[in-house]
Structure 1
Amino acid sequence: MWSGKKSQPPIRSLVGEGTRLSGEIRFRDGLRIDGEVHGDVIADGEARSILVISEKARVLGKVKADHVIINGEVTGPVESNELLELQPKARIVGDVRYEVLEMHPGALIEGELRPLKAGERPALKLAASNDA
């Protein structure tokens, strides 16, 4: 997962606030979205990836990356291969697939939650927990 041994990939790309993109976005390393995207946002599968969808951001399309942090709105399916963090203002309308899920109070999902490995018990992390 995202232990101290592995550093997070750098965020090299930004969709700024007030920007609206239409079409698929494919990225490597890290991407932060503060604007609006109408289309899929997918990490290139070769390297570890991080995707941040900020409080002011909106994505209408599929979202897929290793580490996904959402505090804005996503309308479409979400898939996180390692860690999915849903911040208090996260709003998802669509099915969610994850390896590990961290969900803060206030986050909302309208869709089905399913672990990536269907036969195993999903790993859930309580956001309010003091355990490290």
Structure 2
Amino acid sequence: MFGKTKQPPIRTLIGEGTVITGELRFADGLRIDGEVQGDVIASSEAYSILVISEKAKVVGKVKAGHVIINGTVIGPVLSDQLLELQPKASIVGDVRYESLEMHQGARIDGELHPLKADEKAPLKLATANAGPAINPTTAQAA
């Protein structure tokens, strides 16, 4: 209904107090309440969901379709679908996303890059006369 895709089930849980060292690949859904020292990557091309809870910490790259963060990530984040940053989210690293929902209180220490920005053509400004084209990155106010 309303064009929403059904979310995959969360089949894996890393519990509070658990520490995993190394790359973690998952299919469908994963919830992290503990700590991961390494990359967390959705292994399938199909839609995936990753939940990093308030008490969780990931030190490494995070990549999944739908990513929900309310804990700490130290490393780059890539969300192919929707990135939800809840009030206690803290990211130190660059963030790439298809669409972004950010709640008040969430923090990012890095650059934000929408995935669609990679596909956009350069901005062209219309002019009233047939004069030279204006480059918006170097244009100065008169």
TM-score, scaled relative to structure 2:
0.80
After the TM superposition, list the runs of 4 or more consecutive aligned residues in structure 1 that deviate by more than 3 angstroms.
2-5
TM-score, scaled relative to structure 1:
0.86
Match of 2:53 in 1: 54
Number of equivalent positions: 119
The one of the two structures with greater contact order (alpha-carbon pairs below 8 A, sep at least 6) is 1
Match of 1:103 in 2: 102
Distance 2:82 2:17 in 1: 28
Distance 1:51 1:43 in 2: 8
Match of 1:14 in 2: 13
Match of 1:85 in 2: 84
For residues 3-32 of structure 1, the C-alpha deviation after alignment (integer angstroms, 9 at most, x for no partner) is 555210000001100000000000000000
More strand by share: 1
Identity of aligned residues (%): 74
Distance 2:57 2:89 in 1: 10
Match of 1:27 in 2: 26
Distance 1:5 1:67 in 2: 12
Distance 1:28 1:87 in 2: 23
Structure 1 or 2, whichever has the larger Rg, is 2
Runs of 5+ unmatched residues, structure 1: 121-132
1:117 positional shift: 1.8
Match of 1:37 in 2: 36
For residues 52-79 of structure 1, the C-alpha deviation after alignment (integer angstroms, 9 at most, x for no partner) is 0000000000000000000000000000
The 1:3–1:65 alpha-carbon spacing in structure 2 relative to 1, beyond 3 Å, is: farther
Runs of 5+ unmatched residues, structure 2: 121-142
